[in-house]
Amino acid sequence: MDVGQRLTDQNFPESPEKATLEGKNKFLGFWLFLGGETVLFATLFGTYLGLRNSFGKGPEASEIFQLPIVFIATMILLTSSLTSVYAVLALKENRVKAMRGWFFVTLLLGVAFLGLEIYEFVHYVHEGHTFTSGAFGSAFYTLVGFHGGHVLFGVLWIAALLVRNSGRGLTLYNSPKYYLFALYWHFVDVVWVFIFTVVYLMGKVG
């Protein structure tokens, strides 16, 4: 079968994302990439933890962190993780409309998260907590910013996928792409779980 051909309910494979060798390769390669990303973020977390009490000329973490915003951001990202799971379930059942809908909700939630993060950063900068105000500031913005950059990349990624495949059904060629995005999005959420725990909550109690 041609990989670019639209799948029907009759010939729909159990796991369309892994039905071709290319799909299998992407699936495994992406998981391994996430293993590498784990080390990447671990290095950032380690650096942050090493420097988290070195405030330099900036304010202390417990003075500036605003838990309500962080809580809302966490809820948004958790929910977006759920919606991308729903999208993958729809993908497995060849319900294209539902899948695209859930991915679109994911995208919107991602944008909302980014908006909150930008608002938060602006607020901190006004409080004197900046990238150059001390080692803590550098480590904070680098760690949280790297995560935010990942969210931004994910938003652009799913937007491109949705636009490119609008009006097209699922094929053996685009199924792995959708699936990989969902994996990526969960991973970004996993990282955030540690950010709100290690950076914000631990920062609040010192």
Partner 1 sequence: MASHEETKSVHHHTSLQKKIKLKQERRQHNVSFVMMILLTIVAFAAIASDAVSNQVAILFILVLAAVQVFFQLYVWMHLGHKGHEFPMWGIASGLLIAVITVGTLMGLIW
Partner 2 sequence: MSNAHAANKSVLWDWLTTVDHKKIGILYLISGGFFFLVGGLEALLIRIQLMGPEMTFLTGDLYNQVLTMHGTTMIFLAAMPIIFAFMNAVVPLQIGARDVAFPFLNSLGFWLFFFGGVLLNLSWFLGGAPDAGWTAYAPLSTQSSGHGVDFYVLGLQISGAGTLMGGINFLVTIINMRAPGMTFMRMPLFTWTAFVTSGLILFAFPALTIGFFLLMFDRIFEANFFDANMGGNAIIWEHIFWIFGHPEVYILILPAFGIISEVVATFAKKRLFGYSAMVFATVLIGFLGFMVWAHHMFTVGLGPVANSIFAVATMAIAIPTGVKIFNWIFTMWGGRNRFTTANLFSVGFIPTFVMGGVTGVMLAAAPADYQYHDSYFVVAHFHYVIVGGLILGLFSGLYYWYPRMFGVMLNETLGKWNFWTFFIGFHLTFFPQHFLGLMGMPRRYFTYPEEFQLGSLNFISTIGAIGMTVGTIIFVINIIVTHAKGEKVSGDPWDGRTLEWAMPNPTPHYNFLQTPLVRGLDALWIEKMAGNKGMTPAEPIGDIHMPNNSILPFVMSLGFFIAGLGFIYINTAGLPALIAVIGGIGIGLVCMFLRSWIDDHGYHIHKEDLLKENKGVDA
Site residues for partner 1 per CB under 8 A = 10, 14-15, 18, 27-28, 31-32, 34-39, 41-43, 45-47, 49-50, 67, 71, 74-75, 78-79, 81-82, 85-86, 89, 92-93, 183, 186-187, 189-190, 193-194, 196-198, 201-202, 204-206
Position among 12, 104, 173, 196 found at the interface with partner 2 (CB under 8 A)? 173
From partner 1, partner 2, none, interface partner of 104 (C-beta below 5 to 8 A by class): none
Contact at 8 Å (CB) between 150 and 183? Answer: no
Task: Give yes or no for residue 62 binding partner 2 (CB under 8 A).
Answer: no
Indicate left, alpha or beta for 20 from its phi (over 0: left) and psi (-120 to 50: alpha): beta
Minimum distance, C-beta of residue 174 to partner 2, in the bound complex (Å) = 9
**Separation of alpha carbons 203 and 60, rounded Å:** 9
Tell me how far apart the 2 most distant CA atoms of the chain are, in Å.
65
Assigned token pair, 185: 């999005």
**Separation of alpha carbons 110 and 191, rounded Å:** 14
From partner 1, partner 2, none, interface partner of 202 (C-beta below 5 to 8 A by class): partner 1
**Separation of alpha carbons 59 and 2, rounded Å:** 60
Indicate left, alpha or beta for 136 from its phi (over 0: left) and psi (-120 to 50: alpha): alpha
**What is the contact surface with partner 2 in residues (CB under 8 A)?**
2-4, 21, 24-25, 28-29, 32-33, 35-37, 39-40, 43-44, 46-47, 50-51, 54-57, 131-132, 134-139, 142, 157, 160-161, 164, 173, 177
